[in-house]
Amino acid sequence: MADSLTLPHLLAEHFDVDPSPLVAVSARYPMRITPHTLKLIKSSGDPIWRQAVPDPAELVADDLPEDSLNEAHFSPTAAVVHRYPDRALLLVSGACPGYCRFCTRKSRVGTSTLCFSAAELDAGIDYIAATPSIRDVILTGGDPLLLEDQQLCEILDRLCRISHIEIVRIGSRVPVTLPARITAELCQQLRRFAPLYLNTHFNHPRELTPASAQSCGRLVDAGIVLGNQTVLLRGVNDNAATMAELCRGLLRLRVRPYYLHQLDQVKGTGHFRVPKAQGLAIMAALRGQISGLAIPHYVQDPPDGSGKVLVMEGGV
């Protein structure tokens, strides 16, 4: 983490790029590129670059909202988003190993607005404990695996002691962008919280590196069930061949493709948008060509916050 690039001018040491137009972008939306991700970039504008490097297009004025999913409306207490009766998000960390340029929470990640105090976290866990309809808690943020092992285990311990909580999930991009964080010690600790699910976030087959494969292998060997959520992104994975290679590669890592997300309507991400017709064509091309196990559900999250729905031919 300490060796990550957080300032655009450092990019010029690695690539033939003029960093000055990127300074204003990174001042608005934080930049962080881990050494692991940096090594995966082959050239400016490639699929890894597009995900990680600030782009002036992020500042182009658009009419899109910053809180695309109307999360504030579904937040009974600061660190909780409770949209479905039986599932709730607990936002446990405000930071990420790398800041994805297409992130739904891009105006909040890496800033104090997503950094909750111990008291706010306690209030979140109290809310979950007092709400018996919640069976499934999803730790997110930010990235929960940026917590210290001990902090993370303490939260998991407290959740597991709540009798109506049946499963806990972690949403984390750490296996992709900071695989060295998945230590044997961490996995040994996480073992005892079964049934524990972890959805990670690979978007391109080049991210399926030996280091990421090892980190996923360690998690699975510790009894954690792994899924993957991919975002459909222009210039990254917006064609059937790339998507098929990604999804097949995930199965080899014992990671089940779970969702393919239509990009949320978020300010500063319009340059990543792929039309739904193109997403549907990619899904149609996957069907029958690769193992059914490798095929994710193609979903969108409408801006009113009404919850995820399948993207379908003729749908809204």
Q: Among ligand SF4, ligand PLP, none, what does residue 33 contact (CB within 5–8 Å per kind)?
A: none
Residues within window 125-144 making contact with ligand SF4, judged by CB under 6 A: 142-143
**197 touches ligand PLP (CB under 6 A):** no
The angle subtended at Cα 263 by Cα 262 and Cα 269, nearest 5°, is: 165
Q: Among ligand PLP, ligand SF4, none, what does residue 271 contact (CB within 5–8 Å per kind)?
A: none
Query: How near is the Cβ of 133 to ligand SF4 at its closest, in Å?
Result: 26
Shortest Cβ contact with ligand PLP: which residue? 83
| Sign for the pseudo-dihedral over CA of 263, 265, 271, 274 | positive
Residues within window 57-96 making contact with ligand SF4, judged by CB under 6 A: 96
Nearest to 239, CA basis, from 278, 209, 200, 271: 278
Distance from C-alpha of 274 to C-alpha of 264, rounded to nearest angstrom: 11
Of the pair 21, 315, the CB lying nearest ligand PLP is at: 315
Residues within window 78-97 making contact with ligand PLP, judged by CB under 6 A: 81, 83-84, 87, 89
173 an active-site residue? no
Of the pair 116, 290, the CB lying nearest ligand SF4 is at: 116
Distance from C-alpha of 52 to C-alpha of 47, rounded to nearest angstrom: 9
298 an active-site residue? no
Among 99, 202, 259, 298, which residue sits at the site for ligand SF4 (rule: CB under 6 A)?
99
Question: Cβ(34)–Cβ(10) under 8 Å?
Answer: no
Interior/surface letters 177-202, b for 16+ CB within 10 angstroms, e for the rest: bbbebbeeebbebbeebeebbbbbbb
| Active-site pick, 46, 87, 136, 158 | 87
Query: How near is the Cβ of 91 to ligand PLP at its closest, in Å?
Result: 10
**36 touches ligand SF4 (CB under 6 A):** no
Distance from C-alpha of 94 to C-alpha of 112, rounded to nearest angstrom: 7
Among 91, 100, 146, 246, which residue sits at the site for ligand SF4 (rule: CB under 6 A)?
100
For residue 228, what are the β-bridge partners? 200, 257
Q: Among ligand SF4, ligand PLP, none, what does residue 90 contact (CB within 5–8 Å per kind)?
A: none
Token digits of residue 249:
């590669």
304 an active-site residue? no
Structural Rg of the chain based on CA atoms: 19
Q: What are phi and psi of 147, to 5 degrees?
A: -70, 155
Nearest to 263, CA basis, from 227, 303, 296: 303
Residues engaged in binding ligand PLP (CB under 6 A)? 81, 83-84, 87, 89, 138, 308
Catalytic residues: 83-84, 87, 96, 100, 103, 105, 264, 301, 308
Residues that bind ligand SF4 (CB under 6 A): 96, 99-100, 103, 105, 109, 142-143, 173
